[in-house]
Structure 1
Amino acid sequence: MTIRIGANPIGWSNDDMTELGGHIPLEQCLREAQEAGFVGMELGNKFPRKSETLKATLAEYGHSLVSGWYSSELLTRSVKDELLNLRPHLDLLKGCGADVLVFAETSNAIHGDINIPLSKRPVLHDKDWVEFGNRVTEIGDATLAEGVRLVYHHHMGTIVQSEEDIHNFMRVTGPSVHLLLDTGHATWGGADPATLAGRYKDRISHVHTKDIRSDIMKKAADKNMSFLEAVIAGVYTVPGDGMIDFTTTLKELQGYQGWVIVEAEQYSEETSALSFAKLGYANLVKYLQEANLLD
């Protein structure tokens, strides 16, 4: 598969805070994503959960299913129990032809709680990394055996947030586990996305492109904000509307094949999701072309 450009519905309706865009119908999201140029969508909370219905809904607007976020709890439950919990989601992805599973540990995550500042985010002790990595690898082995690659989503407010966290995670996981490179979460977490791309390009099988507004990122730190407070303030935006050098980052991914997703949280009722989708798509195409990843 060559590079295809998809979108995440969080640009229309925020799953972590349904007050943001909760009134926007799924059909509007799919129609506007198609109008902007996208050919695939990741899952959101408004999507059907039966594969035939989901495929038909997406196809009506020219979309394929890209993947969908899965919240794991491997710190508190066994691999066996996790696989049982994952089964309906994995079957949905397989039934719709998706070949990557967006996976993140959330058993103690704080990104969904507006009252907990990011300074209080969970941290995994050194002695616990190997066991956690072994468990994720077991899940990755199992899903890859069914044709779906586990791609781990490093994320603000979780145990894999910082540059050191990402390096630790990649060190303790096996070859079945790949990285979802998220430019916005990497930057906010203190890592350089281009450096991550260069170091781990052989184990990057999914890419989320979101930009960062540097002034709001600084404000979030100065005021000890929670993740959701910063999102509402507008810390995230579409590619080309913030501080990240996407061309340099994408140049580090020569040979990459798969989906590149515009995944930028909606943060304002006054913001037109369609206008931002069009801006993000146009800028991403330009950056991919500049990086010689797209004709």
Structure 2
Amino acid sequence: MKAKLGMSPIAWWNDDLVELSDDVSLEECLRQSRSAGFTGMEKGRRFPDDPEVMLPILRAADVTLCGGWFSGTLVDEDLAANKDRILPMIELFKAVDAPCIVYGEVGRSIQGDRSKPLATKPKLSDDEMKAYARKVTAFGEWCADQGMPLSYHHHMAAVVETEAELDAFMAASGPGIPLLLDAGHLAFAGGDVLRAIDNHHARINHVHVKDIRRAVVDGLDRTRQSFLDAVALGAFTVPGDGSLDFGAIVQRFADYGYEGWFVVEAEQDPRKNPPLRMAQVGHAELMRVMNAAGYTVETQGFPTR
């Protein structure tokens, strides 16, 4: 089985908490992650939107674009508005041969609002969840028809956060909307990562290997503290520096024959946890567990075709 290892630039630049950002260029971010052994990087705010500009940067760094976040609003807005916003991203991702676009629902979400405690996260009724899931499925099918699959990202402080919400969304949606399984977000929400893989492996097409610091997560007052407060306190980190058993998690993916990207997405204070050092820790731990699970990790970055 083959696997690819990527990173998210959120370890270097945090879009929601600017103070948790390292003042480095895109080129330096790519250099650091590649030197740690990662061959892919998800899109961040310092990436150009023109493929003619992006491709030479990726080529020089020997890194491929392995995904990127789209802020969806389908819980509140119609398909047409989201199609208009995502179409330029689809064309860009096709031009640079990215594997998927990560769909993150921001409608009603409190993930970017530091004044909103975790306990006030939005919740959908059963009927609302079913209607939302059908809508996201239709959107996923449309994006795939344009030549770029989506990957649905369950997320803290959003309408699909908990394991029960994920199960309900998956039951009401269809194969037209694949799943991004994020270990850290699910564990933060109190879910069982291995059970979620068992239940939804057939639709998982992208994986975020985010780790958590259990003491930080368990110590939160969710009636007072927000998602961004948790991030600032260090709730998230890289595999090998946190509390999750990635040996068991990666083995479970291997058991189901998953092949594809495992992406480290670990936002935290770069002054306390320098991104290069964190990248090195994460890569070393992933290589250890990948080898144990029987994966061959691809070492080629930018495609030579």
TM-score of the two chains, using structure 1 as the length reference: 0.96
Match of residue 21 from structure 1: 21
Is contact 1:213–1:236 with CA below 8 Å preserved after alignment? yes
Secondary structure, counterpart of 1:224 in structure 2: coil
Match of residue 279 from structure 1: 281
Q: Larger relative CO (CA 8 A, sep 6+): 1 or 2? A: 2
Matches within 5 A, 1:147-166: 147-166=147-166
Deviations 1:48-101 (A, max 9, x none): 111121121111111001111001111222112211111111111111101211
Matches within 5 A, 1:100-179: 100-179=100-179
Pair 1:289-2:291 in alignment: yes
The gaps in structure 2 that reach 5 residues or longer are 298-305
How far off is 1:222 after superposition?
A: 6.0
How far off is 1:25 after superposition?
A: 1.9
Is contact 2:2–2:295 with CA below 8 Å preserved after alignment? no
How far off is 1:268 after superposition?
A: 4.2
The gaps in structure 1 that reach 5 residues or longer are none
Secondary structure, counterpart of 1:86 in structure 2: helix
Percent of matched pairs sharing the same residue: 36
Match of residue 224 from structure 2: 224
Match of residue 72 from structure 1: 72
Is contact 1:55–1:65 with CA below 8 Å preserved after alignment? no
Partner residue of 1:257 out of 242, 256, 259: 259
Is contact 2:48–2:54 with CA below 8 Å preserved after alignment? yes
Is contact 1:99–1:147 with CA below 8 Å preserved after alignment? no
Secondary structure, counterpart of 1:88 in structure 2: helix
Runs of 4+ in 1 over 4 A off after TM superposition: none
Is contact 1:201–1:252 with CA below 8 Å preserved after alignment? no
Name the count of aligned residue pairs: 295
Secondary structure, counterpart of 1:3 in structure 2: strand
TM-score of the two chains, using structure 2 as the length reference: 0.93
Deviations 1:106-147 (A, max 9, x none): 111111111111111111111111211111011111111233
How far off is 1:248 after superposition?
A: 1.1
Distance between the aligned counterparts of 1:136 and 1:93, measured in 2?
20
Secondary structure, counterpart of 1:180 in structure 2: strand
2:287 aligned partner, one-letter code: V
Match of residue 11 from structure 2: 11
Distance between the aligned counterparts of 1:29 and 1:67, measured in 2?
16
RMSD over equivalenced CA pairs, Å = 1.5
Distance between the aligned counterparts of 2:76 and 2:195, measured in 1?
32
Match of residue 200 from structure 2: 200
